Amino acid sequence: MKPNARDRLIESTRQLLWERGYVGTSPTAIQQRSGVGQGSMYHHFDGKPDLVLAAERRSAELMQRQIAEALTGPGTALERIAAYLGRERDALRGCSVGRLTADPEVMADDTLRAPIRETFEVLHHHLRRTIDEGVAAGELAADLDIDETASAIAAVIQGGYALARAAQAVEPFDRAARGVLSLLRASAPRTH
């Protein structure tokens, strides 16, 4: 089934935001990418901010679903964290949600910033719960600060994207992911 005009507008805006940011996502570019005319665009949305918010929400929903699938699936805590860090992603393109934190227009608007904040809260929640399970199972050190570790993993992911984009190579992202996993494994209690 072909997506309707509203869905095409949202997806086109989502892709343009990811590629160009808020300013580069003009109504003309949205219409060209989506194949939807101006009248239809303004029939479905009150204006660019309304459409951008819908696109951000879609990106947030997709990312939140990926987070939940990886971190609540089967396996040990470390296996689930490794699955999340190692999931297929376009490291050179960056995070469709995280990249918006560098966009001044988005960051200046509480409403447009909300889906980004909520997505990182979901990531922190799932990481925290997974790390807590790892500590409870004796897989990770009992004195590991769960909140700080969850924040560090999230920062490694977003920083890994920045490193990969700067180098125009995937290896810096992969190296950062392997590094945080090595640190987590090193925190594991030693059994004799």
Helix, strand or coil, per DSSP, at residue 34? helix
Q: What CA–CA distances, in Å, run from 118 to 77, 113, 115?
A: 23, 9, 5
What are phi and psi for residue 140, nearest 5 degrees? -125, 160
What pLDDT does 187 receive?
A: 86
Count Cβ atoms below 10 Å from residue 5 Cβ, excluding itself.
Answer: 16
Residue 8 lies in a domain: no
DSSP at 99? G
Residue 60 lies in a domain: yes
Residue 80 lies in a domain: yes
Q: Provide the domain count of the chain.
A: 1
Angle, helices 48-71 vs 77-86, to 10°: value is 140
The CA-to-CA distance between both ends of the chain, in Å, stands at: 59
Domain CATH code at residue 177: 1.10.357.10
Residue 15 lies in a domain: no
Can you give the residue range of the structural domain that contains 101?
Answer: 56-186
Residue 86 lies in a domain: yes
Residue 170 lies in a domain: yes
Residue 38 lies in a domain: no
DSSP at 96? T
Residue 97 lies in a domain: yes
On whether the CB atoms of residues 160 and 57 are closer than 8 A, the answer is: no
- pLDDT, one tens digit for every residue, the chain (192 residues): 567 999 999 999 999 999 999 999 999 999 999 999 888 888 999 989 999 999 999 999 999 999 999 999 999 999 999 999 998 889 999 999 999 999 999 999 999 999 999 999 999 999 999 999 999 999 999 999 999 999 999 999 999 999 999 999 999 999 999 999 999 999 888 763
What pLDDT does 191 receive?
A: 62
